[in-house]
């Protein structure tokens, strides 16, 4: 009997071909999985290194405000222009400074009403901004009185860029010094309200 060795080798080679293709397919699948894992790792690394753009916080923070502070208010009784600066400690924000300025007028014998911008600056430098309405009652220049300030927050910087809300302050104002034109008074106040950012 004659055995053709070449035919056996071709037959054996043809029988091994599907296995060798199967091995290549498995290698391709493993490489595809490795590439997917590497890509997922890269996306995660970018998210960790740049959370502001990769994982922006779509959920706002609702923050009930309770604050107390003290400062000074200066009023020109001829023009109605005033400024106020204070330092306060509050929930959600911590230690911060408050600056307001505005223009007002006497609306009765002892009531002064003013409006203008207000800025609260947190310890990290981020700001809450908005407008305020100030109402001083029982007010005669140079005497102690009560002042209410309602601040409407409309924005800010940094974490407060999209802030909104309302905070109401009630202040006890000392008589201070008065030279007939400029009144400088000390203020101690408490505030409550809610902001979202």
Instruction: Output the average pLDDT for the chain.
Output: 82
pLDDT grade for 179, boundaries at 50, 70 and 90: very high
Over residues 58-75, the pLDDT tens digits come to 557 899 999 999 999 999
If one counts every other C-beta atom within 10 angstroms of the C-beta of residue 152, the result is: 14
State the Cα–Cα distance between residues 46 and 17, nearest whole angstrom: 44
Q: What percent of the chain has pLDDT over 90?
A: 65
Q: Is residue 125 scored above 80 in pLDDT?
A: yes
If we measure between CA atoms, which residue out of 148, 181, 162, 164 comes closest to residue 65? 164
Contact in structure between 182 and 141 (CB atoms under 8 Å):
no
Within 50-157, residue ranges assigned H as helices are: 51-54
Question: The tokens of 16 are what?
Answer: 């091994």
Question: The tokens of 131 are what?
Answer: 């407008």
Residue 68 is part of which domain span?
62-196
Buried b or exposed e, range 89-113, using 16+ CB within 10 angstroms = ebeebeebbbebbbebeeeeeeebb
Number of domains composing the chain: 2
Q: Is residue 197 scored above 80 in pLDDT?
A: yes
pLDDT grade for 55, boundaries at 50, 70 and 90: very low
- Examine the domain organization and report whether 107 and 185 are in the same domain: yes
- Examine the domain organization and report whether 67 and 10 are in the same domain: no
Helix (H) or strand (E) holding 184: strand 182-196
- Examine the domain organization and report whether 86 and 23 are in the same domain: no
Q: Is residue 123 scored above 60 in pLDDT?
A: yes
- Examine the domain organization and report whether 88 and 169 are in the same domain: yes
Over residues 69-122, the pLDDT tens digits come to 999 999 999 999 999 999 999 999 999 999 999 999 999 999 999 999 999 999
If one counts every other C-beta atom within 10 angstroms of the C-beta of residue 169, the result is: 26
pLDDT grade for 13, boundaries at 50, 70 and 90: low
């Amino acid at each position: 009997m004659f055995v053709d060795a070449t035919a056996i080798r071709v037959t054996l080679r043809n029988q091994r071909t599907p296995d060798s293709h199967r091995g290549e397919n498995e290698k391709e699948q493993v490489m595809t999985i490795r590439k997917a894992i590497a890509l997922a790792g890269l996306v995660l690394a970018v998210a960790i290194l740049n959370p502001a753009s990769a994982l922006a916080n779509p959920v706002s923070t609702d923050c009930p405000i309770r604050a107390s502070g003290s400062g000074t208010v200066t009023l020109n009784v001829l023009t109605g222009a005033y400024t106020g600066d204070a330092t306060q400690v509050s929930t959600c924000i911590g230690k911060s400074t408050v600056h307001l300025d505005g223009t007002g007028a006497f609306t009765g014998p002892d009531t002064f009403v003013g409006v203008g911008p207000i800025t609260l600056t947190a310890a990290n430098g981020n700001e809450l901004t908005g407008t305020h309405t100030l109402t001083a009652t029982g007010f005669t220049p140079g005497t102690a009185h009560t002042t209410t300030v309602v601040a409407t927050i409309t924005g800010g910087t940094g974490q407060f860029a999209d802030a909104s809300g309302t905070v109401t302050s009630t202040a006890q104002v000392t008589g201070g010094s008065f030279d007939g034109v400029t009144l400088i008074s000390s203020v101690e106040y408490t505030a409550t309200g809610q902001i979202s950012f």
